[in-house]
Amino acid sequence: MDHKTISFHKYQGTGNDFILIDNRSLGWKPSQRQIEFLCDRHFGIGADGLMLLSISGGYDFGMTYYNSDGKESTMCGNGGRCITAFAESLGLIDRKANFLAVDGPHEALVLAKDEGEFHIRLKMKETTIGKEYPDGIFLDTGSPHFVVQVDTVMDIDILNAGRELRLDGRFGCDGTNVDFVEKTASGLFVRIYERGVENETLSCGTGVTAAALAIAWTEKSNTGQVEVTTSGGNLLVTFRRDGLSFSEVWLEGAAKHVFAGEMMLDAEKYGPMNYAI
């Protein structure tokens, strides 16, 4: 790899797509402009976010996640499943992973794999209901989410309604992700406005998890599994509840390798490649 070329892999988990880079020997420290360019769907590779897989002492690997706005972000559940599939493909793990992300350690299991298609079960952080408002429930599942239950989720103007709540002063200067949830015969249907992408995404792992836990809280369900449909596919959330707290929270679903390649970075336009010493 020279100073202008980046090798990458593209993965998607229920339509939530990511650029993954094996950073163990590179020590690359991407700039915000470089990440924005790589994630751009017209001029770059195109993705909801970019992840670096790195060495992390005591763990199989470390995960660093950046949103498509180029800023390092909080935990990404679908990203955690995709990076586990990536690690399995690299030979770093054999069906089971123990990795470190920004919100702490995570376990993951590769339940099945076949020619670039994986079925991954990811353990999410233990969490509590943050606050219940008249219009929704706020909680942190590795990333902050405001869960709003609606009658018909397809009737919601996600872009405008999501943006308004994402920047609501109740959620501090960094704002929140927003999840609109409809109860269905089989479980839940969720649409997500994701901060850092500043648009609706086809899926969001921490958002799906937040929606399942928030609805479980309103219905006082102590244990269970919730099937969740997103615009990009289906996920399964399992959990145990004790009052306001949730433990043994797992997110399960598909992760798929889409393609691999190399991308040229114009050093004059986007800055030089910087490496950790």
**Residue tagged active-site, from 39, 82, 173, 204:** 204
**Spatial distance between the Cα atoms of 139 and 207, rounded to a whole number of angstroms:** 10
Give the chain's length: 277
Report the chain's terminal Cα–Cα distance, integer Å: 17
Q: Which residues contact 203 (CB under 8 A, 6 or more apart)?
A: 13, 14, 15, 16, 78, 192, 230, 231, 232, 233, 235
Find the Cα–Cα–Cα–Cα dihedral 106, 111, 114, 119, rounded to 10°: -60
39 a catalytic residue: no
217: DSSP letter: H
**Residue tagged active-site, from 39, 76, 82, 173:** 76
> What is each CA distance from 207 to 35, 203, 237, in whole angstroms?
23, 8, 11
Task: Output the six-digit token pair for 140.
Answer: 């942190």
**Residues tagged active-site:** 76, 204
